[in-house]
Amino acid sequence: MTEIAKKPIKITETILRDAHQSLIATRMSTEQMLPIVEKLDEVGYHSLECWGGATFDASLRFLKEDPWDRLRKIRARAKKTKLQMLFRGQNILGYRPYGDDVVEYFVQKSIANGIDIIRIFDCLNDLRNLQTAVKAANKEGGHAQIALCYTLGDAYTLDYWTGIAKEIEEMGADSICIKDMAGLLLPYKATELVTALKETVKIPIQLHNHYTSGVASMTYLKAVEAGVDVIDCAISPFALGTSQPATEVMVETFKGTPYDTGFDQKLLAEIADYFRPIRDEALKSGLLNPLNMGVNIKTLLYQVPGGMLSNLTSQLREMNAEDKYYEVLEEMPKVRKDFGECPLVTPSSQIVGNTAVMNVVAGERYKMVSKEAKDLLSGKYGKTVKPFNPEVQKKVVGDGEIITCRPADLVDNELPQLESEMAQYKEQDEDVLTYALFPQVATDFFKYREAQETKMDAAVADQKNGAYPV
Predicted confidence at residue 39, as pLDDT, reads 98
59 closest CA partner among 448, 451, 453: 448
pLDDT in tens, 96-105: 899 999 999 9
Which residues are 119's β-sheet partners? 86, 145
Q: Quick check: 70 and 26 in contact, CB under 8 A?
A: no
Predicted confidence at residue 470, as pLDDT, reads 46
CB-based burial label for 324 (10 Å; 0-12, 13-18, 19+): middle
353 closest CA partner among 385, 315, 388, 395: 315
Secondary structure in 3-state letters for 210-263:
CCCCCCHHHHHHHHHHCCCCEEEEECHHHCCCCCCCEHHHHHHHCCCCCCCCCC
The C-alpha torsion from 233 through 53 and 33 to 285, rounded to 10°, is -90
pLDDT beyond 80 at 308: no
pLDDT in tens, 43-95: 999 999 999 999 999 999 999 999 999 999 999 999 999 999 999 999 999 98
Radius of gyration, alpha carbons of the chain: 22
What is the rounded average pLDDT of the residues 391-407?
95
Distance of alpha carbon 257 from alpha carbon 250, whole angstroms: 12
Predicted confidence at residue 457, as pLDDT, reads 80
Instruction: State whether residue 120 is helix, strand or coil.
Output: strand
Predicted confidence at residue 299, as pLDDT, reads 79
Q: How many residues does the chain have?
A: 470
Which residues are CB-contacts of 22 (< 8 A; sequence separation ≥ 6)? 210, 241, 242, 243, 244, 292, 306, 307, 310
Which residues are CB-contacts of 38 (< 8 A; sequence separation ≥ 6)? 77, 78
pLDDT beyond 80 at 198: yes
pLDDT in tens, 411-435: 999 999 999 999 999 999 999 999 9
Rounded (10°) angle between helices 306-318 and 325-338: 120
Instruction: State whether residue 52 is helix, strand or coil.
Output: strand
Predicted TM-score (pTM) of the model is 0.92
